[in-house]
Chain A
């Protein structure tokens, strides 16, 4: 695809017209500056975006967020909505890491209070939370409890004493998708997840101790309970092997089922069926169960952090949840076209960004809008934004999800060693704790796009409003 194939709508929005390829059912849209678009055109992400426009009963347009990059089927940073109940449901447009997402905790401590202890604190958290790499955690689930985690998510963890009411309120979908059915999750998936609650995993997953270093909107920041110099903790992980297996199982199953529904798609990885088919409903129930598992995973990590905090600082004032958002998920939502319709919103590398007044938000955030947490790459700043009305009218209530990769792992490794990356980050005030120093360079900051540029585009489009910037002090990586 060339730049000439796109129509400029404004300085931050481009359209791939439906006439670009004859199998397109709707146009594609890309949020980017002209400079970013040139970069995006270097890989196959927009061809992959066009493939998404061919899904049955896809509505209005398919969106690419400014952090888009090439994936393995759907691009990372894509959003699309199919009409309920006959519209397509596609596991590949959610990804293998179902409900990969981020949660932000505020700690009531200031930078100066932890500065001298940060290395020890990071070490303690690193020891407490297994960072994956083939390892399970200390939190083993009996079969009966596994099914409850899958069906009730954080609601079950609250009953068991691992979560508070406030934790549930400050989590997307209150930490539970009700359509979840444990019976739709395979034995293999459950076996993989058995010892994985409370584990980070590897790849781009991490846990970060940060400080609030810039306030873009003091009043909104205060509403979130954040002030300059406050220490926060960011957790980025998902549904681990359990979710990967759910996606694997259903993709295989959909590939065979597709013929029955006479669906033809340009990439096997985008295999899909109608939502209201038996296969579609089964996947949705299993995906919802995996999403509940992911929220539970981030909650158990939070529980471990609180235990560590209590012991380390000898305090009862423990970290509180600001918000938890999913960025790989499929949800049933209402959007206007312009008449209101129920649709299946697929977000692959995109974050929900509901504005003030939305019925799904808890009371405190209903007044201001939903916090949108955007992690930077390792060692770079993260941001908290607040969803705005334009997100609903323009982007199916969605925003970007992170920096977006711009360099392959192979290329990134050639540029510097893990040890060099660790030293460079240390010099800039960021401590790294990891089990795998060799894979550190794959996640080096230079392998990712500039988060500042991405946040700027999102702010300019009016999808979400910038509130605070968070600077990393210590990163725990798998």
Chain B
């Protein structure tokens, strides 16, 4: 696995910084980070029922694509009463993503996310060549 994520502080909401070796992995890392906000102990709880959905998002640019992708996943999570934590990315361009997302049904969330915001949204490549995305969630 070549992605990771860490939290950063925001006065009212929650932020994560996803770090990955490629753009595809960056989306997977951000997805995992969002799942962690919703339920930090998800990997430790027994899976009730697995979920699988197809997802396709077209955005204005690459920065907003990651927020739009996560917002689409968030909507699917709420409708399915579950959490999606992994993705198989079929196609990723600078403003388009097609993916299959995988998750599981849950009984309760640790936290609700209202939305993934565009505020101070940043995707960049650091000096080591890693891709980084800073994303703020409205809690």
Contacts and interface: CB of A to CB of B under 8 A. Distances in A.
Contacts of B13: 71-72, 409
A338 interface: no
A269 B11 contact: no
B119 A73 contact: yes
A409 B14 contact: yes
A134 B78 contact: yes
Given A252-B59, A269-B119, A438-B110, A409 B139 contact: yes
Tell me which of B38, B60, B71, B114 has the highest count of chain A C-beta atoms within 10 A of its own C-beta: B114
Interface in A256-313: 256, 267-269, 271
12 contacts: A44-B11, A69-B11, A69-B12, A70-B10, A134-B38, A135-B81, A136-B81, A202-B109, A251-B118, A255-B64, A410-B9, A411-B9
A408 B121 CA distance: 19
Contacts of B81: 134-136
Contact of A70 (B11, B60, B64, B121): B11
B11 A43 contact: yes
A360 to B, nearest CB: 29
Interface in A172-212: 188, 191-192, 201-203
Contacts of B68: 252
Contact of A255 (B60, B75, B108, B117): B60
B26 to A, nearest CB: 19
A245 interface: yes
A69 B11 CA distance: 8
Interface in B61-96: 64, 68, 71, 75, 77-79, 81
Contacts of A95: 138
B52 interface: no
B75 to A, nearest CB: 5
Interface string A34-45: 000000000110
B121 A268 contact: yes
A192 B78 contact: yes
B7 interface: yes
A377 B111 CA distance: 18
Interface in A55-71: 69-71
User: What bracket does the count of chain B residues touching chain A fall in?
Assistant: 35 or more
A347 to B, nearest CB: 17
The 10 closest A-B pairs by CB, nearest first: A72-B119, A268-B118, A134-B109, A70-B11, A269-B119, A72-B117, A202-B112, A96-B115, A96-B114, A133-B109
B106 interface: yes
A132 B109 CA distance: 9
Contacts of B115: 96, 244, 247-248
Nearest to A438: B110
Nearest to A478: B112
A164 interface: no
B35 interface: no
B101 interface: no
A245 B115 CA distance: 8
Given A136-B81, A256-B60, A267-B118, 7 more contacts: A71-B13, A96-B115, A191-B79, A192-B79, A202-B111, A203-B111, A203-B114
Contacts of B60: 252, 255-256
Contact of B118 (A76, A191, A255): A255
A405 interface: yes
Which of A95, A96, A405, A438 has the most chain B CB atoms inside 10 A of its CB? Answer: A96
Contact of A241 (B11, B78, B138): B78
Contacts of B120: 72, 267
A192 B75 CA distance: 7
B16 to A, nearest CB: 12
A163 to B, nearest CB: 26
A245 B136 CA distance: 17
Interface string A230-249: 00000000000100110110
A148 interface: no
Contacts of B14: 409-410
A269 B116 CA distance: 10
A405 B11 contact: yes
Contacts of B9: 408, 410-411
B119 to A, nearest CB: 4
Interface in B4-51: 7, 9-14, 38
Given A133-B109, A245-B75, A256-B60, A203 B119 contact: no
A73 B117 contact: yes
Contacts of B77: 134
A251 B79 CA distance: 21
A128 interface: no
Nearest to A271: B118
B108 A267 contact: no
B28 to A, nearest CB: 21
Nearest to B106: A134
Contacts of B78: 134, 192, 241
